[in-house]
C-alpha cells in the first residue's frame, strides 16, 4: 500500500524529469521551472494519482495528467500573485518580483498551455472526457477568482456567496483532480461524480481551515505571521460568518475592520470573533464538509483497503497546522 | 463560390451567436465580448474556414474551431496590450484601459481556456490532431512574444533572428489556422503540411508588410499615425535589414534611433532607410514570401477553382493599405 509521501515523491520526480528549465528561450521557461519548484503540498496531483490508483489505473497513464494539474495550479499562482501584488510565496520572491510582471503574465500563459498539453497525453478512450473536466474546472477557477475580486468591493457578502466563491476558486480544482484520476482508471460515471464530490467537499473544508489557521493557528508551526488576512482586510469565512450573525456582531466586525493594520487590530478582531463563537462555527463547518467528503468516498465502489490513503488525506488536511 | 466577405460574415455571426457578454459573472465575460467585437480583419478564422472548405469539410465542423482561433488571437491581444502598455486598439481603449490590468489578465486567461474548449468541438477522428496543432502553435506564439521582448534590450538582432521571431509570434497562428481547417476536412498529412507552409509564409509576408506600412503607408488610408514604430523605438524588419547592411548604415540607424521621439526622427529614419534601399528590400521580401505561400498552395491537391479564395487572400493582404 502506497503512502501519501510515496505519491508526493512520484510527483516531484515526474516534474523534475520534464526539465522545463532547459527549454529555450530560457527567459520564458526558467520562470516556469521556478514556479513549479518544490515547496507546495502537491496536494492536487497527489489526489489525482491516489484516485486513479484506487480504481486500478495504469500509473503510466496518470503521471502526465498529475503534472498537468500541478502545472495548472502553479499557472494560477503566477497570475494571482500579479493580481494580488503578492511579493512572497513559499518563502521565496514571487515570479513577478524575482523577474517582472510581464514575465509572470507570459510564462503563466505558457504554463496554462503546457498544462493542457500534459492533460492531452491520456489514451484516446478518455481524451475528450479528461479535457472537458479540465476546461470546465479552469473556467470555474477564473469565475471564482473574479468573484473574489468583486467581493473585495462589497460589505454584504453572505456565507452562501462566499462558499460559492471558494467552491469555484479552490475546490473545483480538487474535485477535478479526483475525478480525472478516477476517469482515467475507467471508473463508472457515478463513481467519477462521487470522486468529484469528495474533492470539492474536501476543498471547502481545506479553505475554511486555511481561513481559520490564519488567525487561530499556532505561531510556532503556522509558517507565516498570524493575522495576515485581518491586516490585509481580506474577507474570509470568519468575516462572512460573523457578518451573518445579526447587526450587533456585524457592527463590531465592521468597526474592527476599519482599524489601522497593526497587532492591535488582530487582537481586536480575534476578541470579536471569540465572543461571537466563530472558532466553533469554523470547526463545525470543517467537520461537516470533511465528513461529506468521506461519505462520498464511502459511497464509491473503491475497496475499503484502497480507500485508506484517500481517507488519510482528509485527516492530514484537517489536522494540519500550516 | 464563396467570397472572402462571405467567410468574414460567417465568423461574425458565429461569434455573435455565442453571446459571451450574457454569461455570469459579467465582470469576467463582458471584457471577453468586448475583446472579440468587430473591428479586426478576422483573417485567421477566415483562413481556417477557407482551408476547410477547399478540402470539402462539413462547415458545421469548422465553425467552432474558427471562433476558437479568433478567441485565441484576441486572448493574445489582451495580454500583449498589458505587456506593451498599449492604450488603444482598433480605435477603442484596450481592455486594461477600459477596465483595469487585473481584468485584462483574468479575462484573457478565460479566453485561452474558452479557445481550447471551442477547438475541442471537432469530431473524435480529428480531436487529438487539432489540439496538438493548437497547443504547439500557442507555445510558439509565447516563445515569439518572449523573443520580441528580449530583442528590445538588444542592438544586434540579425534578419534571421527577426524572421524566426515573427514566424513564431505571428505566422505560426496563420499556419495553424490553415492546417487545422485542412485537417478537419480530412486532407492528407502532406497537404496539411503544405497548408501550414502556406499560412506561415503568408504570415511572414503580412508582418513585413505591417512593418513597411507603418513608415511608408499612405496617411490617408493607413488608419493610424505613420511612424509609430519609429517613435516607439521598435525593432522591425526595416531596422534589422538596415543593421545588416554594414557599419556605415548601421551607425546611421543607431544614431537615428537615439533621436528624441518626434516628427523629425520619423523623417530622419525614412531618409536613412531610403538611401539604404530598404523599401525595395521590403517589397522583394514580401513578394518572395507571398510567392512561396502561393507555391505551397499550388502543390496541394486542391482543385484550381477551390484555390481561388485562398489566392485572393494573398493578393488582398499584399495589396492592403492598412
Query: Left if phi > 0, otherwise alpha if psi is -120 to 50, otherwise beta: which for B196?
Result: alpha
**Does position B38 have pLDDT exceeding 80, yes or no?**
no
What pLDDT does A322 receive?
A: 67
Q: Could you tell me if B100 lies within 8 Å of chain A, comparing CB atoms?
A: no
pLDDT in tens, A209-248: 999 999 999 988 887 889 999 998 899 999 999 999 999 9
Q: Cα-flanking dihedrals φ and ψ of residue B92, to 5°?
A: -130, 160
**Does position B50 have pLDDT exceeding 90, yes or no?**
yes
Percent of chain B that is helix, strand, coil (3-state, to 5): 75, 0, 20
- DSSP tag of A169: I
Q: Could you tell me if B106 lies within 8 Å of chain A, comparing CB atoms?
A: yes
The stretches in chain A having pLDDT less than 50 are none
Tell me chain B's radius of gyration from C-alpha atoms.
20
The beta-carbon contacts of B96-104 under 8 Å, at least 24 apart in sequence, are B98/B31, B98/B34, B99/B31, B102/A82, B102/A83, B102/A149, B103/B27, B103/B31, B104/B31, B104/B78, B104/B79
Length in residues, chain B: 322
Q: CB–CB of A147 and B25 under 8 A?
A: yes
Q: CB–CB of B109 and A146 under 8 A?
A: no
Say if residues A82 and A96 touch (Cβ distance below 8 Å): yes
At which residue does the C-alpha cell 473536466 appear? A133
At which residue does the C-alpha cell 494539474 appear? A69
CA-closest candidate to residue B206, choices B171, B244, B246, B239: B171
Exposure b/e, A14-49, CB count within 10 A at least 16 = b: bbeebebeebeeebbbbbbbbbbeeebebbbbbbbb
What pLDDT does A307 receive?
A: 94
Q: Could you tell me if A116 lies within 8 Å of chain B, comparing CB atoms?
A: yes
Q: CB–CB of B112 and A112 under 8 A?
A: yes
Task: For residue B127, give the chain A residue with the closest CA.
Answer: A128
Residues 221-260, chain A, touching B (beta carbon < 8 A): none
A84 contact partners, CB below 8 Å, separation of at least 6 = none
Task: For residue A103, give the chain B residue with the closest CA.
Answer: B146
Report d(CA B91, CA A140) in Å as an integer. Answer: 32
What pLDDT does B39 receive?
A: 74
What pLDDT does B153 receive?
A: 87
Q: Which of A79, A106, A138 sits opposite B142 (nearest CB)?
A: A106
Residue B1 cell numbers, joined: 463560390
Q: What is the DSSP string of B245-292?
A: S-HHHHHHHHHHHTS-SSHHHHHHHHHHHHHHTHHHHHHHHHHHHHHH
What pLDDT does B182 receive?
A: 98
Q: Which of A117, A120, A146 sits opposite B28 (nearest CB)?
A: A146
Exposure b/e, A234-268, CB count within 10 A at least 16 = b: bbbbbbbbbbebeeebbebbeebbeeeeeeebbeb
Q: How far is A289 from chain B (nearest CA, A)?
A: 26
Say if residues A117 and B142 touch (Cβ distance below 8 Å): no
| SS3 category, A43 | helix
Mutation for testing the A interface, residue in B26, B79, B102 having most A CBs under 10 Å? B102
Nearest 5 degrees, angle CA B233-CA B239-CA B243? 125
Chain B residues touching A138 at Cβ < 8 A: 113
Q: Which of A222-226, B19-23, B139-143 has the lowest mean pLDDT?
A: A222-226
Chain A residues touching B131 at Cβ < 8 A: 116, 120, 131
Chain B residues touching A113 at Cβ < 8 A: 112, 135, 138-139, 142
Is-above-0.95 flag for pTM? yes
Q: Which of B112, B128, B142 sits opposite A28 (nearest CB)?
A: B142
**Does position B225 have pLDDT exceeding 80, yes or no?**
yes
When pLDDT is averaged across residues B290-295 and rounded to a whole number, the result is 98
Say if residues B75 and A112 touch (Cβ distance below 8 Å): no
Q: How confident is the model at residue B322 (pLDDT cuts 50, 70, 90)?
A: low
Report d(CA A165, CA A162) in Å as an integer. Answer: 5
Question: What is the helix (H) or strand (E) element at residue B89, kind and residue range?
Answer: strand B88-89
Q: How far is A76 from chain B (nearest CA, A)?
A: 9
Mutation for testing the B interface, residue in A29, A108, A134, A143 having most B CBs under 10 Å? A143
What pLDDT does B151 receive?
A: 93
Residues 31-90, chain A, touching B (beta carbon < 8 A): 79, 82-83
Q: Could you tell me if B109 lies within 8 Å of chain A, comparing CB atoms?
A: yes
Report d(CA B161, CA B156) in Å as an integer. Answer: 10
Q: How far is B160 from chain A (nearest CA, A)?
A: 16
Residue B136 cell numbers, joined: 504547439
Q: Could you tell me if A132 lies within 8 Å of chain B, comparing CB atoms?
A: yes
What pLDDT does A251 receive?
A: 95
Q: How far is B68 from chain A (nearest CA, A)?
A: 14
B242 contact partners, CB below 8 Å, separation of at least 6 = B249, B250, B252, B253, B272, B273, B276, B278
Tell me chain A's radius of gyration from C-alpha atoms.
20
B145 contact partners, CB below 8 Å, separation of at least 6 = A106, B76, B80, B83, B169
When pLDDT is averaged across residues B275-298 and rounded to a whole number, the result is 97
Mind listing the domains of chain B with CATH numbers?
4-318 (1.10.600.10)
Which residue intervals of A93-157 are DSSP H helices? 95-98, 101-119, 124-152
Task: For residue B117, give the chain A residue with the closest CA.
Answer: A135
Across the A:B interface, residue pairs with CB atoms under 8 Å apart total: 95
Amino acid at each position: 500500500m502506497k503512502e501519501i509521501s510515496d505519491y508526493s515523491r512520484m510527483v516531484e520526480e515526474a516534474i523534475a524529469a520534464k526539465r522545463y528549465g532547459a527549454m529555450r528561450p530560457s527567459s520564458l521557461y526558467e520562470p516556469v521551472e521556478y514556479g513549479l519548484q518544490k515547496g507546495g503540498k502537491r496536494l492536487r496531483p497527489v489526489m489525482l494519482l491516489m484516485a486513479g490508483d484506487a480504481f486500478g489505473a495504469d500509473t503510466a497513464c496518470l503521471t502526465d495528467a498529475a503534472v498537468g494539474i500541478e502545472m495548472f495550479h502553479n499557472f494560477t499562482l503566477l497570475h494571482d500573485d500579479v493580481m494580488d501584488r503578492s511579493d512572497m510565496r513559499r518563502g521565496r520572491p514571487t515570479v513577478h518580483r524575482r523577474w517582472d510582471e510581464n514575465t509572470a503574465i507570459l510564462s503563466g500563459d505558457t504554463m496554462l498551455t503546457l498544462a493542457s498539453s500534459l492533460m492531452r497525453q491520456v489514451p484516446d478512450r478518455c481524451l475528450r472526457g479528461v479535457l472537458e473536466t479540465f476546461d470546465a474546472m479552469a473556467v470555474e477557477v477564473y469565475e471564482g477568482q473574479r468573484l473574489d475580486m468583486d467581493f473585495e468591493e462589497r460589505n454584504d457578502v453572505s456565507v452562501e456567496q462566499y462558499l460559492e466563491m471558494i467552491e469555484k476558486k479552490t475546490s473545483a480544482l480538487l474535485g477535478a483532480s479526483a475525478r480525472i484520476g478516477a476517469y482515467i482508471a475507467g471508473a463508472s460515471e457515478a463513481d467519477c461524480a462521487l470522486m468529484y464530490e469528495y474533492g470539492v467537499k474536501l476543498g471547502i473544508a481545506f479553505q475554511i481551515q486555511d481561513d481559520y489557521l490564519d488567525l487561530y493557528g499556532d505561531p510556532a508551526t503556522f509558517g507565516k505571521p498570524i493575522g495576515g488576512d485581518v491586516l490585509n482586510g481580506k474577507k474570509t469565512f470568519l468575516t462572512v460568518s460573523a457578518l451573518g450573525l445579526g447587526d450587533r456582531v456585524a457592527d463590531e466586525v465592521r468597526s474592527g475592520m476599519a482599524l489601522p493594520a497593526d497587532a492591535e487590530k488582530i487582537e481586536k478582531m480575534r476578541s470579536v470573533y471569540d465572543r461571537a463563537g466563530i472558532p466553533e462555527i469554523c470547526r463545525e463547518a470543517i467537520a461537516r464538509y470533511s465528513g461529506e467528503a468521506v461519505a462520498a468516498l464511502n459511497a464509491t465502489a473503491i475497496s475499503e483497503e484502497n480507500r485508506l490513503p484517500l481517507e488519510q488525506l482528509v485527516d492530514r488536511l484537517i489536522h494540519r497546522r500550516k
